[in-house]
Structure 1
Amino acid sequence: MSDQQQDVGTSSELPYEHSRKGAWADFAGTFAGVMLIITSCFGILQGLAAVGNDKLYPEVADYLYEFDLSAWGWIHTVLGLLGIFVGVGILMRRGWGQITGVMVAGLSMVANFAFIPYYPFWAMTIIAIDALIVWALCTQYANRA
């Protein structure tokens, strides 16, 4: 057996990048990056709609997180822009992208939770997608460990 064959090992000891676990982690990261970019684009559109037309969303009476709709619009727009930046970082496999992606998706979940009275079905849909993003990024981290 040559030295080169000894370094590679048996077929069950494939390098991480060529293993099933590595392929799954790669898919989870790609999924999370793409979904974060898509939901961030939705957040930007949602935010710009609220900034551009305060009458677009219904009035909510006596709600704990009641802000002016323009403020909600700016919150969603800024989170959306940040999410696109982080999503691209995830797709480029930058080290900071994974942890920052979990944080941005978590902030998006909180912002959409507070936005539920204004647009409940949409906010809950985005919360569910953000939960999938957090799951995919955490799964990628667990598979790489």
Structure 2
Amino acid sequence: MTTTSQPVRQGLAAGITMLAAIMLLVSGTLSILRGIAGVTKDEIFLIPSEYSYQFDVSAWGWIHLALGVLLVAVAIGMMVTATWARIFAYCLAALSIVANFASLPHYPWWSVIVIVVDLVVIWAISTWTPDRV
């Protein structure tokens, strides 16, 4: 069965990809805010006493701040359907999953939510083929 005979699936994937771009934009913006909170050593973060991936909260803040800026840039690129943005979205979403897994003890609920959002983004981007819609 060819993709052209599945317009509903492609339409759904295209819509979900645009939603993924918006989710990347929101995730990036919130990562920027999370990064700022970490850099300023806000008291919203848990600081575990023993953890394998233990960094200073300020270090996690810089990591999430940089990741957030990149996510916002890629989300804007996806909104204008730039091919480079799709490629970088895969990489950044995967990197975001790793960063949020590693910082899980510092802010558990938010980390889990962002990991799920990133998985949906990866699925949506890999399902959509814009030249076949």
The TM-score, its normalising length taken from structure 2, stands at 0.87
Per the alignment, residue 53 of structure 1 pairs with 41
2:10, 2:129 within 8 Å by CA — same for their partners in 1? no
Unpaired segments ≥5 residues, structure 2: none
Query: Greater relative contact order: 1 or 2 (C-alpha under 8 angstroms, separation 6 or more)?
Result: 2
Unpaired segments ≥5 residues, structure 1: 1-15
Which of residues 23, 37, 54 is equivalent to 1:35? 23
Deviations 1:18-37 (A, max 9, x none): x4354234213211111100
Correspondence list, 1:1-145, <5 A: 19-53=7-41, 55-141=43-129, 144=132
Identity of aligned residues (%): 36
1:21, 1:143 within 8 Å by CA — same for their partners in 2? no
Q: How many residue pairs align between the two structures?
A: 128
Larger Rg: 1
Between the aligned partners of 2:120 and 2:14, the Cα distance in structure 1 is 15
2:100, 2:115 within 8 Å by CA — same for their partners in 1? yes
1:36, 1:87 within 8 Å by CA — same for their partners in 2? yes
Deviations 1:30-66 (A, max 9, x none): 1111110011111111110011125442221121110
Alpha-carbon deviation of 1:119? 1.1
Please, what is the CA RMSD of the aligned residues? 2.1
AA aligned opposite 1:71 = A
Between the aligned partners of 2:105 and 2:124, the Cα distance in structure 1 is 28
Between the aligned partners of 2:55 and 2:129, the Cα distance in structure 1 is 36
Q: Kindly report structure 1 stretches of 4+ aligned residues shifted beyond 6 Å.
A: none
